[in-house]
């Protein structure tokens, strides 16, 4: 059992056990299938988790599943039985792991068909060990008779592991392997290799397990004759024998590993030293930095040289994969301390080379905020989250209280200090992460794409916060995609394929649209306008531009040329068609389970071939509204008609071929082991014939351009490619209407453009496109019609041009128009939707 | 069930106690409940539990769990009435003994006919069982409540009726019959989970469990083929003690759950983690525990989103037999698991970045002190528990049967 204790030395294994626990608990609760003993045992798929996790993650899974079961009990059934549930679930993962190691001698659990017999044996034995412990314990407490509970739990566990185990394992193993999460990857060999008593242990385990199995079989076949009668006479009970077998398995497992030394020296002294040294010299100095990840061909960073003084704000930009995150990780030692790879060059913080320093030592100097805010919030309350870093540093309690309050007040979250993290909004979560990074009062702050999941308001607020921090004298590095946000920075660095392609002032690059585009950024509208007008000035803000454009006139005819057909087109698509609308929302109201009214009295129709953008702040009801369109949510009042049919009587599965829905995060749906299988999932679900499925899949893959990757593992593709896989899987169902939930989030400029072009191509083919988006320039250039939601109500339903031209409406709904539209409205009172339109109207004199 | 923790914020005395005090008190209360096995005394424990819930101001939680508690009480009571053994001299209240059937009587002929009819019914049930378990969504829905009841009863009759060579085969057929009823009832339950039909199936399950037990111990089965006559029928005897013991155990389990509910309602996960850490749990395990609590609602939310995404692609989770339902859960389990595993790296990085592992002495932000209230509360509970245990051990108070 030593391995079960030693594993806690590894932070990653501790995290893995927490993940197993949370996953097991989260899956035990909603996925109940059939009650076996009502209220006590249900037949459920979740029971496959301990076995599969056990053979992959070893003791981490054992602790995890034990705790997970306990947490599951926290939802109403804590009792002394929970104690036995804890031990039982621990064994349910630990026994398969130990037996696997014994039988397979180091071969990993890949889930290949050849391993099936061994897997089934260890799974069933593990299940029985769990059943015996829980059954005995609960019987002793007088809760449920032993005979019933043990048999039922064995059945439960065996059903789950036999039906699901061999299907689940081949899907999890390659990914766990790739991400380096297997037990062998994370622990040292001496922690799990066998000691001298191993053969004895093995014997005990086998006898115990086999004996237990035989016993269960005899018990099941029953009768008061034969062996059971003989036993009863000699005073031995079935229960007692069951317990003996379990004990043998346990003791045997303990004998497997040697009891060895413990202890690892901490490097405390160095950490304190760093915080104390005077901070002189440039804040950040990177020289000749080079890094390549272990399994990749191309280096992530090559020959990077950067320097930054105190009190400067640098924005780091570049296409996805250019190396922004890698560079951020190098700045606080995460690379190379926590990430293996080929590392070269020097990183100096205040003149001190940080190579070799543990990450926690640098925490008081460099704070970090990561992109995925979910994965950086670690505790169960806001206050504790911010106190956590201070606790680790051994800060005295009164100073902790002061600093926590200060940090929370600086992000305006002191009032929310008792909340649990999962009830916070995206913006609040990100601010919380910022507070946790700030509480150590680090002079340097690194933020890796912090605004990705925020709405425009949230983005602006976060950037303002960063500017305030810079004004206080801190040094900041922010990795970003949004070109507008780079305007407030002191320094702009653009990476391209791991090299520094530009390093200078933002004004210098952003006022050169051609160069911006060449470097993979989305050029700003205003300088681009001036470039295309052949004017020498390069203003960057609307105010500056408005001044300079006073004398430019907008040709009325040209304007009519653009605007009128556009409007006609928009109106035709909307009202002109005499056909029945393909979607009809009538008096929709939706109230969530807790009584929260998400949507109030919304009505609109959508006709075939329209391109609709749904706009609104976070929490205005956009996603809730969209989920009604394919039956995922049903109205509390009112109705939604799809092709004339009421969604109330239909399931999302039934509507899948009419209305497709692309979720924001492709990882919420990818599960198959090849791209082809993933895309084929949809057509197969709706019962199409195999040759039809084949055609649909090939067609969809061709449309998104992933034909060459058909046999690849979708989990291992890049984020952009995964998004395309998700799109292909929706397209394979050939729905008339396709709803896109934030398709451009997290993508860099060129890819955002690519995605919107793909949507336009689909619209041209005849699909009705509905897009929920924050990206107003995309809505302006691509959509005909905009539906603006606010506070659950429909604020406006009009052509996009009208919406973006109405400043009062925009102000009320918290939206801001694309910069070009704002400029055009200010100077000429006309809502121009793109730079091209503006150029066309203003250069009427330069006809060809 | 929501993924909201049941913690109800409040300022009651119980809320203000140190979590360690509450844990020890909980253990003591469990011990006190275990001391008795008479229904009246266990009912007293339940009352104590309700009173504590009232003090904690957590009656809302009790109300929500009422249906669940009632259900557990009923099931547990029924199971124990039939499963309790080692009753020294039972006061038999009702019993059923095998009847003697003589060759040449009409009863004999009737029984032979029933045996064959029963075997036929069993065969049909088994075949439809296979269909139900492996049913795919595209096949038609199987019968309903009456269907399940009819075939179940027939199957039961077959099991009862068969008298043939070999104890072995007899037991097997009995099990098969009972299982058939259980599975057939499941076909009903699968479509209608929260309705009276479900209750009918649950009662059926209790009967099934009864059958299991009787079958195991051979009470039912007496192969007496004495040439011209045989005994036929079950041997069931229910004693007064068993009738009392069942509900006593049912009440006991409710008392346990009530005390547990008091604990959950007054202790937030962070308090629990801190208390455990203060009692000497290592840093890494306590951080992992806290992290697990933090992640559960997150993962539950992810799981829901994943299910929505898969349903939007045509996955129909509400149809099909158990076999297909299990397989269909895979597209919901794998993305959630992948999502969880993918965040391992990020979380590890976040923990290290926030300073974990510094190896130096750690301070606690929220320092929970144990004060006089704690000592007083603990003293009261300990006295109560000791009194109960002493009363049982020395005076046999509250004892129905000489067992735990």
H or E, element range at A308: strand A301-308
Closest Cα in chain B, distance from residue A147 (Å) = 8
**Cβ neighbours of A425 (radius 10 Å):** 13
Q: Any bridge partners for residue A482, and if so which?
A: none
Instruction: In whole angstroms, give the CA distance from residue B269 to residue B3.
Output: 13
Closest Cα in chain B, distance from residue A484 (Å) = 28
Instruction: In whole angstroms, give the CA distance from residue A371 to residue A360.
Output: 19
Instruction: In whole angstroms, give the CA distance from residue A169 to residue A165.
Output: 6
Residues near A501 by beta carbon (within 8 Å), at least 6 away in sequence: A318, A494, A495, A519
- For B334-347, what is each residue's pLDDT tens digit? 998 988 998 898 89
| Sign of the Cα pseudo-torsion (A672, A676, A678, A683, in order) | negative
ipTM computed for the complex: 0.87
Residues near B102 by beta carbon (within 8 Å), at least 6 away in sequence: B108, B228, B229
Residues near A785 by beta carbon (within 8 Å), at least 6 away in sequence: A570, A573, A574, A610, A611, A612, A613, A797, A798, A799, A800
Instruction: In whole angstroms, give the CA distance from residue B227 to residue A333.
Output: 90
Please, is A660 exposed, middle or buried when counting C-beta atoms within 10 Å of its C-beta (0-12, 13-18, 19+)? buried
Instruction: In whole angstroms, give the CA distance from residue B262 to residue B56.
Output: 7
Residue B139's pLDDT is what?
A: 38
Residue B156's pLDDT is what?
A: 55
- Read off the pLDDT of each residue in A439-461 and give the average, rounded to a whole number: 86
H or E, element range at B180: helix B167-191
CB within 8 Å: B212 and A148: yes
Residues near A578 by beta carbon (within 8 Å), at least 6 away in sequence: none
Chain A residue nearest residue B83, CA to CA: A145
Residue A140's pLDDT is what?
A: 81
CB within 8 Å: A38 and B314: no
Split at pLDDT 50, 70, 90, the class of A611 is: very high
**Cβ neighbours of B140 (radius 10 Å):** 6
CB within 8 Å: A36 and B327: no
**Cβ neighbours of A38 (radius 10 Å):** 19
Q: Tokens standing for B233?
A: 């029928």
CB within 8 Å: B305 and A632: no
Instruction: In whole angstroms, give the CA distance from residue A316 to residue A313.
Output: 10
Which residue did the predictor score with more confidence, A346 or A145?
A346
CB within 8 Å: B339 and A668: yes
**Residue B181, pLDDT above cutoff 90:** no
**Cβ contact A678:A654 at 8 Å:** no
**Cβ contact A238:A183 at 8 Å:** no
- For A224-235, what is each residue's pLDDT tens digit? 445 555 656 666
Closest CB to A76: pick one of B6, B289, B323: B6
Residues of B in contact with A670 (CB under 8 A): 335, 338
CB within 8 Å: B299 and A147: no
A64-73, A150-159, B222-231: segment of lowest average pLDDT: B222-231
Chain A residue nearest residue B261, CA to CA: A76
Split at pLDDT 50, 70, 90, the class of B233 is: low
- Read off the pLDDT of each residue in B272-280 and give the average, rounded to a whole number: 80
Residue A562's pLDDT is what?
A: 80
Chain A residue nearest residue B78, CA to CA: A144
A244-258, A497-511, B23-37: segment of lowest average pLDDT: A244-258
Alpha carbon of A322 to those of A343, A476, A747: distances in Å?
A: 17, 20, 12
**Cβ neighbours of A718 (radius 10 Å):** 10
Which residue did the predictor score with more confidence, A92 or A372?
A92
CB within 8 Å: B290 and A379: yes
CB within 8 Å: B83 and A225: no
Residue A263's pLDDT is what?
A: 42
Q: Which residue has tokens 């049967």? A: B401
- Read off the pLDDT of each residue in A404-417 and give the average, rounded to a whole number: 89
Which residue did the predictor score with more confidence, A232 or A529?
A529
Closest Cα in chain B, distance from residue A280 (Å) = 23
Closest CB to B365: pick one of A11, A17, A387: A387
Residue A759's pLDDT is what?
A: 92
Q: Which residue has tokens 């391209």? A: A496
- The string of DSSP letters for A521-551 reads -PPPHHHHHHHHTT-S----SHHHHHHHTTT
Closest CB to A393: pick one of B65, B83, B358: B358
Cα angle: A424, vertex A427, A428; to 5 degrees: 40
Closest Cα in chain B, distance from residue A815 (Å) = 27
Residue A220's pLDDT is what?
A: 54
Q: What own/partner pairs with CB < 8 Å and gap ≥ 24 does A489-493 have? A: A489/A313, A489/A314, A489/A315, A490/A312, A490/A313, A490/A314, A491/A308, A491/A312, A491/A313, A491/A314, A491/A315, A492/A314, A492/A315, A492/A317, A493/A306, A493/A314, A493/A315, A493/A316, A493/A317
Cα angle: B31, vertex B34, B39; to 5 degrees: 140
Residue A182's pLDDT is what?
A: 87
Which of A73, A18, A26, A70 lies closest to A46 in space, CA to CA?
A26
Which residue did the predictor score with more confidence, B179 or A122?
A122
CB within 8 Å: B350 and A370: yes
Instruction: In whole angstroms, give the CA distance from residue B388 to residue B11.
Output: 29
Q: Which residue has tokens 């075949």? A: B127
Q: Which of B169, B358, B400, B404 is most worth mutating to test chain A (most A CB atoms within 10 A of its CB)?
A: B358
- For A725-767, what is each residue's pLDDT tens digit? 999 999 999 999 999 999 988 788 888 888 899 999 999 988 9
CB within 8 Å: B327 and A31: no
**Residue A37, pLDDT above cutoff 80:** no
Kindly give the pairing relationship between strand A768-772 and strand B92-96: unpaired
Is the N-terminal amide bond of A751 cis, ω within 30° of 0? no
Alpha carbon of A83 to those of A654, B277, B325: distances in Å?
A: 45, 18, 31
Kindly give the pairing relationship between strand A583-591 and strand A597-606: antiparallel
Which residue did the predictor score with more confidence, B135 or A353?
A353
What Rg, from alpha-carbon coordinates, does chain A have? 31
Q: What sections of A346-443 are H helices per DSSP? A: 359-362, 382-393, 397-410, 426-438
Residue A486's pLDDT is what?
A: 85
Closest Cα in chain A, distance from residue B330 (Å) = 7
Residues of B in contact with A34 (CB under 8 A): 186, 189-190, 322
Residue B320's pLDDT is what?
A: 63
Which residue did the predictor score with more confidence, B118 or B43?
B43
Chain A residue nearest residue B72, CA to CA: A39
Residue A301's pLDDT is what?
A: 92
Residues of A in contact with B331 (CB under 8 A): 669, 671, 681
Residues near A652 by beta carbon (within 8 Å), at least 6 away in sequence: A630, A631, A632, B308, B311, B312, B314
Closest Cα in chain A, distance from residue B85 (Å) = 10
**Residue B182, pLDDT above cutoff 60:** no
Residues of A in contact with B355 (CB under 8 A): 360, 363, 388-389, 392-393, 440
Residue A258's pLDDT is what?
A: 54
**Cβ contact A493:A317 at 8 Å:** yes
Residue B165's pLDDT is what?
A: 42
Residue B183's pLDDT is what?
A: 53
What Rg, from alpha-carbon coordinates, does chain B have? 28
CB within 8 Å: B335 and A669: yes
**Cβ contact A50:A89 at 8 Å:** yes
Instruction: In whole angstroms, give the CA distance from residue B171 to residue B218.
Output: 8
Instruction: In whole angstroms, give the CA distance from residue A130 to residue A88.
Output: 4
CB within 8 Å: B338 and A163: no
Q: Tokens standing for A527?
A: 């300088």
Closest CB to A376: pick one of B299, B303, B346: B346
Cα angle: A286, vertex A287, A291; to 5 degrees: 85
**Residue A195, pLDDT above cutoff 50:** yes
DSSP B225: B
Instruction: In whole angstroms, give the CA distance from residue A314 to residue A324.
Output: 12
Cα angle: A363, vertex A368, A369; to 5 degrees: 145
Q: What sections of A285-332 are H helices per DSSP? A: 324-331
CB within 8 Å: B357 and A653: no
Residues of A in contact with B198 (CB under 8 A): 35, 38
Kindly give the pairing relationship between strand A659-662 and strand A737-741: parallel
- Read off the pLDDT of each residue in A265-284 and give the average, rounded to a whole number: 61
**Cβ contact A450:A437 at 8 Å:** no
Which residue did the predictor score with more confidence, A252 or B234?
A252
Percent of chain B with pLDDT over 70: 61
Which residue did the predictor score with more confidence, B357 or A428?
A428
Residues of A in contact with B295 (CB under 8 A): 18-19, 22-23, 26
Chain B residue nearest residue A219, CA to CA: B216
**Residue A331, pLDDT above cutoff 60:** yes
- For B385-402, what is each residue's pLDDT tens digit? 999 888 888 877 777 776
Which of A382, A378, A379 lies closest to A370 in space, CA to CA?
A378
- Read off the pLDDT of each residue in A411-423 and give the average, rounded to a whole number: 86
**Cβ contact A745:A672 at 8 Å:** no
Residues of B in contact with A436 (CB under 8 A): 354
Split at pLDDT 50, 70, 90, the class of B45 is: very high
- The number of C-beta contacts closer than 8 angstroms across A and B is 440
Residues of B in contact with A160 (CB under 8 A): 326
């Amino acid at each position: 059992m030593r391995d079960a204790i030693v594993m806690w030395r590894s932070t990653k294994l501790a995290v893995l056990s927490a993940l197993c626990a949370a996953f097991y608990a989260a899956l035990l609760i909603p996925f109940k299938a059939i009650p076996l003993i009502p209220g006590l045992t249900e037949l459920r798929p979740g029971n496959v988790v301990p076995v599969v996790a056990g053979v992959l993650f070893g003791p981490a899974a054992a602790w995890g599943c034990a705790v997970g079961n306990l947490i599951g009990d926290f939802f109403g059934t804590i009792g002394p039985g929970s104690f036995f549930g804890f031990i039982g679930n621990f064994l349910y993962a630990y026994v398969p792991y130990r037996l696997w190691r014994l039988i397979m001698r180091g071969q990993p659990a890949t889930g290949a068909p050849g391993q099936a017999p061994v897997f089934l044996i260890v799974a069933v034995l593990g299940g029985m060990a769990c059943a015996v412990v829980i059954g005995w314990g609960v019987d002793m407490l007088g809760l449920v008779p032993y005979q019933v509970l043990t048999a039922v739990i064995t059945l439960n566990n065996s059903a789950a592991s036999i039906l699901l185990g061999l299907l689940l394992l081949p899907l999890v193993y390659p990914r766990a392997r790739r991400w380096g999460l297997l037990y062998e990857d994370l622990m040292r060999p001496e922690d799990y290799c066998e000691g001298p008593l191993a053969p004895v242990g093995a014997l005990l385990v086998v006898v115990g397990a086999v004996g237990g199995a035989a016993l269960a079989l005899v018990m099941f076949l029953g009768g008061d004759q034969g062996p059971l009668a003989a036993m009863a006479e000699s005073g031995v009970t079935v229960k007692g024998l069951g317990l003996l077998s379990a004990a043998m398995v346990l003791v045997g497992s303990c004998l497997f590993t040697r009891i060895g030394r413990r202890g690892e020296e901490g490097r405390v002294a160095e950490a304190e030293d760093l915080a104390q040294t005077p901070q002189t010299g440039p804040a950040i100095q990177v020289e000749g930095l080079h890094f390549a990840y272990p399994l990749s061909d191309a280096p992530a960073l090559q020959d990077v040289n950067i320097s930054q003084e105190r009190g400067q704000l640098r924005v780091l930009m570049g296409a996805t994969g250019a190396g922004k995150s890698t560079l951020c990780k190098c700045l606080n030692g995460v690379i190379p301390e926590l990430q293996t790879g080929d590392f070269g060059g020097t990183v100096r913080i205040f003149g001190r080379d940080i190579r070799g320093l543990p990450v926690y030592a640098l925490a008081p100097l460099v704070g970090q905020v990561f992109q995925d805010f979910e994965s950086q919030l670690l505790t169960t309350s806001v206050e504790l989250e911010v106190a956590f870093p201070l606790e680790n540093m051994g800060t005295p309690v009164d100073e902790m209280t002061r600093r926590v309050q200060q940090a929370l007040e600086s992000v305006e979250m002191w009032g929310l200090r008792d909340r649990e993290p999962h009830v916070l909004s995206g913006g609040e979560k990100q601010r919380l992460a910022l507070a946790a990074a700030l509480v150590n009062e680090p002079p340097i702050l690194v933020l890796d794409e912090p605004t990705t999941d925020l709405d425009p308001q949230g983005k602006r607020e976060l950037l303002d916060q960063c500017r305030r921090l810079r004004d206080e004298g801190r040094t900041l590095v922010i990795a970003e995609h949004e070109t507008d946000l780079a305007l407030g920075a002191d320094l702009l660095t653009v990476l391209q394929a791991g090299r520094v392609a530009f390093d200078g002032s933002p004004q210098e690059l952003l006022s050169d649209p051609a160069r911006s585009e060449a470097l993979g950024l989305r050029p700003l509208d205003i300088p681009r306008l001036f470039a295309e007008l052949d004017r020498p000035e390069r203003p960057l803000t609307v105010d500056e531009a408005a001044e300079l454009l006073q004398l430019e006139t907008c040709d009325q005819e040209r304007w009519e040329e653009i605007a009128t057909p556009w409007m006609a087109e928009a109106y035709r698509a909307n009202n002109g068609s005499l056909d029945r609308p393909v979607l009809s929302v009538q008096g929709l109201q939706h109230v969530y389970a807790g009584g929260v009214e998400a949507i109030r009295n919304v009505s609109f129709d959508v006709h075939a071939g329209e391109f609709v953008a749904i706009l609104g702040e976070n929490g205005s009801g956009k996603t809730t509204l969209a989920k009604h369109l394919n039956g995922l949510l049903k109205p509390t009042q009112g109705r939604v008609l799809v092709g004339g049919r009421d969604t109330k009587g239909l399931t999302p599965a039934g509507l899948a071929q009419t209305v497709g829905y692309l979720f924001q995060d492709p990882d919420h749906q990818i599960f198959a082991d090849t791209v082809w299988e993933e895309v084929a999932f949809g057509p197969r679900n709706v019962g199409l014939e195999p040759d039809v499925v084949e055609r649909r899949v090939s067609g969809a893959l061709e449309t998104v351009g992933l034909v060459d990757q058909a046999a690849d593992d979708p989990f291992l593709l890049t984020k952009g490619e995964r998004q395309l896989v998700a799109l292909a899987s929706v397209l394979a169902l050939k729905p008339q209407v396709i709803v896109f939930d934030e398709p451009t989030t997290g993508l860099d400029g060129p890819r955002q453009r690519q995605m919107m072009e793909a949507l336009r191509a689909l619209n041209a083919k005849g699909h009705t496109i509905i897009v929920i988006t924050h990206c107003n320039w995309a809505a302006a250039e691509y959509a005909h019609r905009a539906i603006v939601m606010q506070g659950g109500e429909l604020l406006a339903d009009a052509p996009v041009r009208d919406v973006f031209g109405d400043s009062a409406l925009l102000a009320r709904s918290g939206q801001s128009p694309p910069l070009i539209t704002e400029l055009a409205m200010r100077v000429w009172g006309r809502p121009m939707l793109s730079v091209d339109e503006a150029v066309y109207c203003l250069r009427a004199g330069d006809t060809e | 069930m929501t993924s909201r923790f049941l913690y109800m914020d409040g300022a009651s005395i119980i809320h203000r106690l140190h979590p360690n005090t509450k844990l020890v008190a909980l253990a003591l209360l469990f011990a006190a409940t275990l001391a008795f096995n008479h229904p009246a005394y266990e009912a007293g424990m339940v009352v104590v539990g309700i009173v504590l819930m009232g003090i904690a101001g957590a009656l809302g939680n009790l109300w929500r769990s009422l249906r669940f508690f009632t259900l557990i009480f009923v099931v547990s009571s029924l199971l124990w009435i039939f499963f309790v053994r080692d009753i020294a001299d039972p006061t038999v209240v009702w019993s059923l003994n095998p009847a003697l059937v003589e060759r040449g009587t009409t009863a004999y002929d009737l029984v032979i006919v029933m045996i064959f009819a029963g075997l036929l019914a069993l065969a049909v049930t088994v075949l439809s069982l296979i269909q139900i378990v492996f049913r795919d969504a595209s096949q038609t829905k199987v019968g309903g409540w009456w269907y399940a009841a009819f075939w179940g009863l027939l199957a039961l009759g077959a099991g009862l009726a068969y008298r043939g060579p070999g104890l072995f085969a007899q037991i097997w057929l009995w099990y098969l019959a009972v299982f058939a009823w259980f599975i057939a009832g499941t076909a009903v339950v699968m479509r209608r989970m929260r309705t009276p039909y479900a209750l009918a199936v649950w009662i059926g399950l209790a009967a099934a469990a009864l059958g299991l037990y009787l079958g195991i111990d051979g009470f039912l089965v007496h192969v007496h083929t004495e040439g011209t006559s045989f005994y036929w029928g079950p041997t069931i005897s229910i004693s007064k003690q068993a009738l009392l013991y069942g509900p006593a155990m049912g009440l006991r389990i409710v008392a346990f759950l009530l005390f547990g509910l008091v604990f959950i309602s007054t202790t937030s996960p962070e308090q629990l983690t801190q208390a455990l850490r203060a009692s000497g749990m290592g840093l890494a395990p306590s951080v992992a525990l806290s992290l697990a609590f933090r992640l559960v609602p997150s993962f539950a939310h992810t799981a829901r989103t994943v299910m929505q995404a898969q349903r939007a692609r045509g996955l129909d989770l509400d149809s099909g037999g158990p076999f297909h339902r299990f397989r269909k859960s895979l597209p919901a389990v794998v993305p959630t698991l992948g999502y969880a595993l993918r965040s391992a790296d990020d979380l590890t990085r976040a923990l290290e970045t926030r300073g974990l592992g510094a190896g130096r002495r750690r301070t606690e932000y929220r320092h929970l002190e144990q004060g006089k209230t704690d000592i007083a509360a603990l003293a009261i509970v300990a006295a109560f528990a000791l009194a109960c245990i002493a009363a049982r051990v020395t005076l046999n108070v509250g004892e129905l049967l000489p067992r735990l």
